[in-house]
Amino acid sequence: MNTRLIVSLMLVAPVLPVALHAQAPAAKPAPAKSPADLAVDAFNKVRNAPASKTQAGFTELIAKGMAYVSQYPTHGQINTVVNQLGSFALGIDAKQPALRASYVSLLGLEVTNARYKEGVTDPVKAALAAIDAAVADYEMRTNPNREALAALREKIDALTEAPGSNRFLADRERSYAHLMIMVNQTAKAEEQLQKLAKHADKGISDMAKAELNTINVKKAPFDLKFTGIDGKETDLAQMRGKVVALYIWSSTNKQSLDQVERLKLIHSDYRKKGFEVVTVSYDKAEDREKVMKAIKDARINFPVHFDGKGNKVAFAGKLGAWSAPRLMLFDQKGILQTPAINNRLEANIPLTQLEGQVKRLLNIK
């Protein structure tokens, strides 16, 4: 073999593994969690454990939750933990009222002890007041009556007085409004929300405006008339007497397309009993070809509203529907439905609960 060739091969051979190795840099390690994040993880681990709904589980759960509240009262997940502490008893079997009462009593005792500890900061005081309000919310939900509603209002008012309470108020006031609506005090709920709509905190005022918008939408049948992407006319007013689902999707949102198949199955099961589906594409004008492909690939056989304006369609603000996927349901009179889902009145119905809601409206057992 040529001597020059042998030398060249000897020089090149060791270089190849290095070059190959350079093409696959090691993955960057995940950023370390903060102590506050770890405290939330510890709380959730106990909360999700099977033993959490026992006396021993209560003690551990409340200890983890209160430790987090006391140490990290301004952390990003404080409101979530406060809500979970306050409403945890809802997850205990209603046939065990003594066990529910035991949890609430133990939590109340720990909140009281924490409140009177030396050196309690204002953010901690606000979090403790929010737990009180969340527990009063639970009490109203499990035994709705005038006294319970008044007690809840009192706790929310006390929370309002606490410095730094704004981070909790939107959730507490929204839940209070929903509870008033559930006990047929919509006018009073509307009055309270109108006051909150002028609140200096944008998060609170935006919440109130959104809730007022939903109340207003429900005051009259929802009308929508359009020429579909297939050229056919659709008019919701002509569907009165039927339950109608309005489904918002986008060709760029895979989740919204993946849900179409389940939607078709539910429609197939209840169409002859008075259930219809109308869809809206939140795509822009330049994406028309993508929309047509999505309709073909997903075999969407429902009416499709497409005007190329994305989420800026005329009725987006009216329905508070700014993104896909979104599923709304209208009764036989064309009134928007807001069933209680996860302790909140929701206009956006999870697909997993659509069939149950359709059966309810069609009076199917």
Q: How many domains does the chain have?
A: 2
Identify whether residues 236 and 354 lie together within a single domain: yes
Q: Is 16 part of a structural domain of the chain? A: no
Identify whether residues 163 and 281 lie together within a single domain: no
Identify whether residues 213 and 230 lie together within a single domain: no
Q: Is 243 part of a structural domain of the chain? A: yes
Q: Which of 199, 217, 235 is the last residue of a domain?
A: 217
CA-to-CA distance for 186 and 113, rounded, in angstroms? 37
Residue of 145, 153, 237 whose CA lies nearest to 192: 153
Instruction: Tell me the mean pLDDT in the region 79-84.
Output: 98
Per-residue pLDDT tens digits for 115-144: 999 999 999 999 999 999 999 999 999 999
CA distances 202 to 75, 152, 196, 206, 279, Å, are 19, 23, 10, 6, 32
Residue-level pLDDT at 11: 42
Q: Which of 176, 201, 217 is the last residue of a domain?
A: 217
What's the gap between Cα 231 and its chain centre? 35
Percentage, residues of the chain above pLDDT 90: 90
CA-to-CA distance for 91 and 173, rounded, in angstroms? 22
Residue-level pLDDT at 57: 97
Residue-level pLDDT at 102: 98
| Helix (H), strand (E), coil (C) string for 161-177 | HCCCCHHHHHHHHHHHH
Q: Is 19 part of a structural domain of the chain? A: no
Identify whether residues 189 and 318 lie together within a single domain: no
Residue-level pLDDT at 28: 72
What are the φ and ψ backbone dihedral angles of 4, each rounded to 5 degrees? -65, -35
Identify whether residues 301 and 184 lie together within a single domain: no
**Candidate from 2-6, 91-95, 221-225, 345-349 with smallest mean pLDDT:** 2-6
Question: 323 by DSSP, 3-state: which?
Answer: coil
Q: Is 3 part of a structural domain of the chain? A: no
Identify whether residues 252 and 186 lie together within a single domain: no
Identify whether residues 267 and 132 lie together within a single domain: no
Domain that holds residue 249: 225-361
Report whether 267 contacts 277 (CB < 8 A).
yes
Report whether 352 contacts 331 (CB < 8 A).
no
Question: 93 by DSSP, 3-state: which?
Answer: coil
Q: Is 82 part of a structural domain of the chain? A: yes
**Candidate from 17-31, 77-91, 195-209 with smallest mean pLDDT:** 17-31
Q: Which of 217, 238, 256 is the last residue of a domain?
A: 217
CATH number at residue 346: 3.40.30.10
Report whether 256 contacts 246 (CB < 8 A).
no
**Candidate from 21-25, 30-34, 298-302, 323-327 with smallest mean pLDDT:** 21-25
Cis peptide before 35 (omega within 30 of 0): no
Q: Is 27 part of a structural domain of the chain? A: no
Report whether 141 contacts 90 (CB < 8 A).
yes
CA-to-CA distance for 299 and 128, rounded, in angstroms? 52
Identify whether residues 160 and 208 lie together within a single domain: yes
Per-residue pLDDT tens digits for 302-321: 999 999 999 999 999 999 99
Percentage, residues of the chain above pLDDT 70: 93
Residue-level pLDDT at 24: 57
Residue-level pLDDT at 188: 97
Q: Please list, residue by residue across 82-115, b when 16 or more beta carbons sit within 10 angstroms of its beta carbon and e when fewer do.
A: bbbbbbbbeebeeeeeebbebbbeebeebbeebe
Residue-level pLDDT at 23: 59
Per-residue pLDDT tens digits for 153-174: 999 999 999 999 999 999 999 9
Q: Is 23 part of a structural domain of the chain? A: no
CA-to-CA distance for 223 and 335, rounded, in angstroms? 10
pLDDT(263) > 70: yes
Question: In this structure, what token pair is assigned to residue 216?
Answer: 């207003």
Report whether 131 contacts 86 (CB < 8 A).
yes
* Predicted structure pTM score: 0.86
SS3 content of the chain, % helix, strand, coil (to 5): 60, 10, 30
Identify whether residues 73 and 196 lie together within a single domain: yes
CA-to-CA distance for 198 and 178, rounded, in angstroms? 19
Identify whether residues 193 and 65 lie together within a single domain: yes
DSSP string of 106-146, one letter each residue: HHHHHHHHHHTSTT--HHHHHHHHHHHHHHHHHHHHHS--H
| DSSP strand pairing (233-235 vs 225-227) | antiparallel
Per-residue pLDDT tens digits for 236-245: 999 999 999 9
Residue of 321, 300, 327, 298 whose CA lies nearest to 229: 300
CATH number at residue 86: 1.25.40
Identify whether residues 250 and 161 lie together within a single domain: no
Q: Is 15 part of a structural domain of the chain? A: no
Identify whether residues 237 and 211 lie together within a single domain: no
